[in-house]
Amino acid sequence: MQEEKSGGSAPALPPDGEFPAEAKNSVYAAIFGRRDVRSFRPETVPDDVLARILTAAHHAPSVGFMQPWDFLLVRSRELRGRIKELSDRERHAAAVFYDEPRRDRYLAMKLEGILDAPLNLCVTCDPTRGGPQVLGRNSIPETDVYSTCLAVQNLWLAARAEGVGVGWVSILRNAELREILGIPPHVIPVAYLCLGYPEGGFAEKPLLESNGWRERIDLDLLVRYETWHSQT
């Protein structure tokens, strides 16, 4: 559709290095308010909103400015049904790695909204984009995938600012996902996302934190100085 092709216009940039207080608070609000959403209302995301979200994703930084990402929009109920079946198979296969009662807790959690969300989106990485020599990628070729992950983060934060929920479906096999969506063999599916307006709004805490599956690690335990073994 035209809005998705043309994208949204970039907002005015601040005249100096620091954002005004209100804009700065909005950035942090999007970061701290971002959630992995699994339950969605049925209404579609308007074209202009989707265009702004995709434009934000496309303005992510990338090594050598290679922009390795593509955004594959999936609305077909039939395709989403096949991907849902794939996710369900992988979810039950993963359950064997947990002992009871953690296995039951894992299977009881809603971990995707493939059919609930009005839109699915597969973000891919094309490692051939930019040709055989991409500035800055010789030493660490995986930076093309890292760059694509930055596009995913931009998309997620822009969606949160628009009130749109995003859920990352990570319980999938890329080879089978490629086949279902017709993705070329050299292109890497990086993120399969569900997009839509969240049912019940955005949760106060991430699901796995609120239900006691994992706790947020204290930042002081993760900050190191000069060398790996120094934390003081």
Whole-angstrom Cα distance, residue 132 to residue 66?
A: 11
Residue 209 has pLDDT above 80, yes or no: yes
Residue 8 maps to a domain: no
Is 12 inside any structural domain?
no
- Asked, for residue 6, whether it belongs to a domain, the answer is no
pLDDT of residue 11: 72
Total structural domains in the chain?
1
Overall average pLDDT of the 48-76 stretch: 98
**Range(s) of the domain holding residue 78:** 27-221
With b for 16 or more beta-carbon neighbours within 10 A and e for fewer, the 144-164 pattern comes to bebbbebbbebbbbbbbbbeb
- The label of the residue with tokens 């930055």 reads 150
**What residues pair up with 36 in beta bridges, in sequence order?**
166
In a domain, 31, yes or no: yes
Confidence of residue 10 (pLDDT cuts 50, 70, 90): low
Q: Of 7-11, 17-21, 181-185, which has the strongest mean pLDDT? A: 181-185
Averaged pLDDT of the chain: 93
Asked which of 2-16, 121-135, 211-225 is least confident by mean pLDDT, the reply is: 2-16
The answer as to whether 72 is a domain residue is yes
Nearest to 71 by CA among 179, 170, 181: 181
Six token digits for residue 89: 């198979």
Q: Does residue 116 lie in a domain region? A: yes
At 189, which CATH number?
A: 3.40.109.10
Classify residue 18: in a domain, yes or no: no
Q: Report the DSSP pairing between strands 165-168 and 188-196.
A: antiparallel
Is pLDDT above 90 for 70?
A: yes
Q: Is 137 a member of any domain?
A: yes
Percent of the chain topping pLDDT 70: 95
Q: What is the pLDDT of residue 230?
A: 80
> Which pLDDT belongs to residue 7?
55
3-class DSSP assignment, residue 12 = coil
The dihedral formed by the CA atoms of 164, 170, 173 and 176, expressed in degrees to the nearest 10 = -10
pLDDT in tens, 106-118: 999 899 999 999 9
DSSP 40-83: B-SSPPPHHHHHHHHHHHHTS--GGG---EEEEEE--HHHHHHH
